[in-house]
Amino acid sequence: MADDISSFWGPVTSTKEWCEPNYVRSSYIAEFFNTISNVPCIILALIGLVNALRQRFEKRFSVLHMSNIILAIGSMIYHATLRQMQQQGDETPMVWEMLLYFYILYSPDWHYKSTMPTFLFLYGALFAIAHSQIRFDIGFMLHYALLCLLCVPRTYKYYIHTEDRSAKQIAKFYVATLLVGAVCWLCDRLFCKDISRWYFNPQGHALWHVLMGFNAYFANTFLMYCRAQQREWNPKIKHFLGFFPYVKIQKPKAQ
């Protein structure tokens, strides 16, 4: 919601605003809760990154965790400024991250291994160029939703071929956080006028950020487990601090 008050970043130029009054708590942060709610995503991605590096998982998973961090930082900058350029800096990494998920999901069975990363790289580069020149709104959301849907069949295949109950539970947490987060996102988007009259704003979009931080963590952990199974690394689900699941592997000595 654009408010006629002084701000460090100038007038709002982004194509979307969310159901939080602008610059209420600071002239440097347009949407305070939508900005700080990305912090859990960064912390969870760092936990995943440390595990991936410590156990020498394939580099694709380190890149995946780092992409979660970059995406969260881009979202923080966007919600802090509500500027068009910063919005593109949030949305473009969202597409890049989905292309990375697509690669991790489908590349193990891809016969022409060099063609997939080349195509995905070119696709991501062309999208970034187009997005820098054209203001997408509904088109971007439909495009992003399509990329997400393309990942569903392979993810479901991994799920039904996973026998470990703890790993399957992580997949269920992934689905649950996605569904609850989507409800929060939709309520914040569709019922903002009503919510704005409430004494207490539940900050649906900020809740979406928090839930998506956990969602990405669960997705990454499940994919790491599935990949470790493919490589015959004897994966086991352990828990950090008694709560955060992670994959413990045992590589053959030859690896």
**Averaged confidence pLDDT in the chain:** 92
CATH topology of domain 32-249: Rhopdopsin 7-helix transmembrane proteins (1.20.1070)
Q: What is the pLDDT of residue 3?
A: 45
Is 239 within 8 Å of 248 (Cβ atoms)? no
- Tell me the per-residue pLDDT of 8-49, one tens digit each, with 9 for 90 and over: 888 888 988 899 999 998 889 999 999 999 999 999 999 999
Q: Which helix (H) or strand (E) holds 18?
A: none
Average pLDDT over residues 212-240: 95
**Residue ranges for the binding site for Ca(2+)?**
18, 20, 22, 31
- Tell me the per-residue pLDDT of 56-90, one tens digit each, with 9 for 90 and over: 999 999 999 999 999 999 999 999 999 999 999 99
Statement: residue 103 has pLDDT above 90: yes
> Tokens representing 143?
């495009």
Record the pTM: 0.92
**Residue ranges for the binding site for Zn(2+)?**
79, 205, 209
Q: Which helix (H) or strand (E) holds 240?
A: strand 236-240
Statement: residue 254 has pLDDT above 90: no
> How far is residue 22 CA from its own chain's centroid?
24
> Tokens representing 81?
């400024």
Q: What is the pLDDT of residue 186?
A: 95
Secondary structure string (H, E, C) spanning the chain: CCCCCCCCCCCCCCCCCCCCCCCCCCCCCCCHHHHHCCHHHHHHHHHHHHHHHHCCCCHHHHHHHHHHHHHHHHHHHHHHHCCHHHHHHHHHHHHHHHHHHHHHHHHHHCCCCCHHHHHHHHHHHHHHHHHHHCCCCHHHHHHHHHHHHHHHHHHHHHHHCCCCHHHHHHHHHHHHHHHHHHHHHHHHHHCHHHHCCCCCCCCHHHHHHHHHHHHHHHHHHHHHHHHHHHCCCCCEEEEECCCEEEEECCCCCCC
Q: At residue 162, what are phi and psi to the nearest 5 degrees?
A: -95, 125
**Residue ranges for the binding site?**
18, 20, 22, 31, 79, 205, 209
